[in-house]
């Protein structure tokens, strides 16, 4: 029986933010992510949770960290069930080249979900066109923003670009 796997891509990630930068307090972001994802694994009865951080500001040396968490008997996992948490990074733009079929089937596994943390879609300093076009069809994505105003602007941008089917009336105004 194949293990159930969840693969999430975090787009626009950076060493200083999502990967916590140069910490001197001994905290390990991979341990923290593994602990936080354990509940998700338990509820989803998952054998593997893979989170891939992608961005031009990720560490020069790609991360490939693995942690095993005990998910116990919740979610049908059975007593003593374990889940492998895989934390990876790619110092790259999020584009079609990451999914190009090669000898190993592409650099990244197809995501089950894509997360954009505070992308600033409407900021003139950034161009997210290629990244948004690279999200595989049918794969849900989540965006976060720092403010409600930025969130509304990003939703309108996504709607105007055809990435959202419809906007609630309160957002469209």
Cα angle vertex 143, ends 111, 10, to 5°? Answer: 40
Going by pLDDT thresholds of 50, 70 and 90, the confidence category of residue 33 is confident
> Rounded distance, CA 167 to CA 59, Å?
36
Task: Write out pLDDT tens, residues 58-94.
Answer: 888 888 888 888 877 555 555 568 889 898 989 989 9
Instruction: Decide: helix, strand or coil at residue 119.
Output: coil
Residue 49 has pLDDT above 60, yes or no: yes
Range of the domain at 53: 5-148
Output the pLDDT for position 167. Answer: 86
pLDDT tens readout for residues 107-158: 788 899 999 988 989 999 989 999 999 998 899 999 999 899 999 999 999 9
3-state secondary structure of 126: coil
Domain contains 135: yes
Q: Is 162 inside a domain boundary?
A: no
* Confidence category of residue 160, pLDDT binned at 50, 70, 90: very high
Residue 163 inside a domain? The answer is no
Confidence class for position 1, pLDDT limits 50, 70, 90: very low
The number of domains in the chain is 1
Q: Which residue has the higher pLDDT, 106 or 94?
A: 94
Question: Which residue carries 């409600």 as its tokens?
Answer: 148
Residue 23 counted as domain residue: yes
Establish if 168 belongs to a structural domain.
no
Give me the pLDDT at residue 122, please: 92
DSSP symbols for 9-64: EEET-BTTTTT--S-SS---HHHHHHHHHHHHHHHHT-SEEEEEEEETBS-SSPPE
The larger pLDDT score, comparing residue 15 to residue 54, is at 54
- Smallest CA-to-CA distance from 98 within 87, 88, 89, 109 is with 109
Q: Is there a domain that residue 99 lies in?
A: yes
| Domain-embedded: residue 138 | yes
Asked if 69 and 38 count as a contact pair (C-beta separation under 8 A), the reply is yes
Tell me the pLDDT band of 29, cut-offs 50, 70 and 90: confident
Q: 73 CB contacts (<8 Å, ≥6 apart)?
A: 79, 81
CA distances from 46 to 8, 37, 39, 62, 69 (A): 13, 10, 10, 25, 11
Query: Does the residue 171 lie in any domain?
Result: no
């Amino acid at each position: 029986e194949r293990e159930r796997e969840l693969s999430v891509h975090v787009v626009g990630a950076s060493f200083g933010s999502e990967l916590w930068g140069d910490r001197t307090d001994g905290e390990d972001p991979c341990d923290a992510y593994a602990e936080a994802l354990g509940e998700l694994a338990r509820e989803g009865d998952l054998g593997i949770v893979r989170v891939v951080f992608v961005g031009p500001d990720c560490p020069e040396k790609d991360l490939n960290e693995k942690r095993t968490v005990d998910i116990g008997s919740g979610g049908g996992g059975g007593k003593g069930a374990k889940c492998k948490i895989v934390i990876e990074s790619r110092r790259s733009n999020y584009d079609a080249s990451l999914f190009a079929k090669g000898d190993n089937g592409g650099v990244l596994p197809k995501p089950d979900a894509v997360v954009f943390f505070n992308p600033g879609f409407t900021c003139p300093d950034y161009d997210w066109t290629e990244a948004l076009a690279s999200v595989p069809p049918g794969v849900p994505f989540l965006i976060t923003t720092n403010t409600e105003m930025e969130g509304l602007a990003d939703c309108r941008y996504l709607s105007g670009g055809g990435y959202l089917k419809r906007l609630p009336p309160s957002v469209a105004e």
